[in-house]
Amino acid sequence: MSTAIARGKPRVSESAHSSDLPAWAMPLSPEAYYRLGELGLIPEKTQLIEGMVVHTMPKSPLHVFLVQFLKDTLTKILPESFITRQESPIHLGRSEPEPDIAIVKGSVNDFIASHPTSAEIVFEVIVTTNELDEKKKQIYANSGIPILVHLFPKENRFEILSEPADGEYRMIQKRNWDEEVVVKLNNISHKIGLPVLNEHLSSD
C-alpha cells in the first residue's frame, strides 16, 4: 500500500474528484482539513497525519474481510461501556488517523459532535509495510494508546505492542495466527480468537 503526502505552494485542485491531492504551503489543522473537505478541495480516502494530507490506496478483499471479522467479533464480547469503530478517525493533536479497528470507551452518542481523543486498543491490518504504518505507530505511541495490534495476514502472525513511551512501544509480543489475544478492559480479561486463514491468503 503506497501513500502520498501533499506539500508545496497553495493551489486549488482542478477537480474535486482528481486522484491528485491539492498541495498546501503549511500543515493543516484538523478544522481546516474538514472544512476543505466540505468544500470538495480534498479527495476522499485521505487521512490527516501530522498536519499533512495523506492519500491511502484501496484495500484488498482479505484486508476488508479481516477488518469486518474483527469488528463483528469484538462487538459481541465488549462490555457495554466500550464501542468498536471501524476505519473512523481518532483526534490525536495534529493527526486524525483512521485505524482499521479501534476500541473506544463510551457510547456511540458520545461522538456525535467530535471524534474520540484516545482509544483503549487499536488494530491495524498490514499487508505490505509502508511509511504510513510506521508513522501511525509513532503517533499512537506518542498519544499514549496503550495497546496496538498489528496483523500480518500474509505471514500468518500478529504482534501486540504495549508500554508506549517516547514515540515507540517498548513491549512487542509476537504471536502465531491461531493464538488468542488476551485484552483487559475494566480490569476484566477477554480472549479474542483470530481465524486461521491459510486458504484465503492467496486471494490478496
105 & 8 share domain: no
Cα 14 from Cα 47, distance rounded (Å): 20
Q: Say yes or no: 20 and 86 in one domain.
A: no
Q: What's the confidence (pLDDT) of residue 108?
A: 92
Q: Give pLDDT, residue 153.
A: 84
Q: Which residue has the higher pLDDT, 183 or 156?
A: 156
Same domain, 130 and 146: yes
Task: Answer yes or no: do 72 and 128 share one domain.
Answer: yes
Q: What mean pLDDT do residues 76-84 have? A: 85
Q: Is pLDDT above 50 for 19?
A: no
Q: What is the pLDDT of residue 42?
A: 73
Tell whether 101 and 192 lie within a shared domain: yes
Quick one: 91 and 106 in the same domain?
yes
Mapping DSSP onto H, E and C, the string for 112-144 reads CCCCCCCCCEEEEECCCCCHHHHHHHHHHHHCC
Task: Measure CA 82 to chain center.
Answer: 17
CATH of the domain at 89: 3.90.1570.10
Q: Is residue 13 located within the same domain as residue 105?
A: no
Q: Are residues 43 and 70 in the same domain?
A: no
98-157 residue pLDDT tens: 999 999 999 999 999 999 999 999 999 987 767 788 889 999 999 999 999 999 888 888
Is residue 59 over pLDDT 50?
yes
Quick one: pLDDT at residue 56? Answer: 73
pLDDT band at 87, cuts 50/70/90?
A: very high
Q: Is the pLDDT of residue 50 over 50?
A: yes
| Counted domains in the chain | 2
Whether residue 89 sits in one domain with residue 190: yes
Residues across the chain: 204
Regarding whether 70 and 8 lie in a shared domain, the answer is no
Domain with 7, as residue range(s), is 3-56
Same domain, 40 and 75: no
In this prediction, residue 30 carries a pLDDT of 72
Asked if 172 and 105 sit in the same domain, the reply is: yes
**Is residue 37 pLDDT above 80, yes or no?**
no
* Residues 6 or more apart whose Cβ sits within 8 Å of residue 37: none
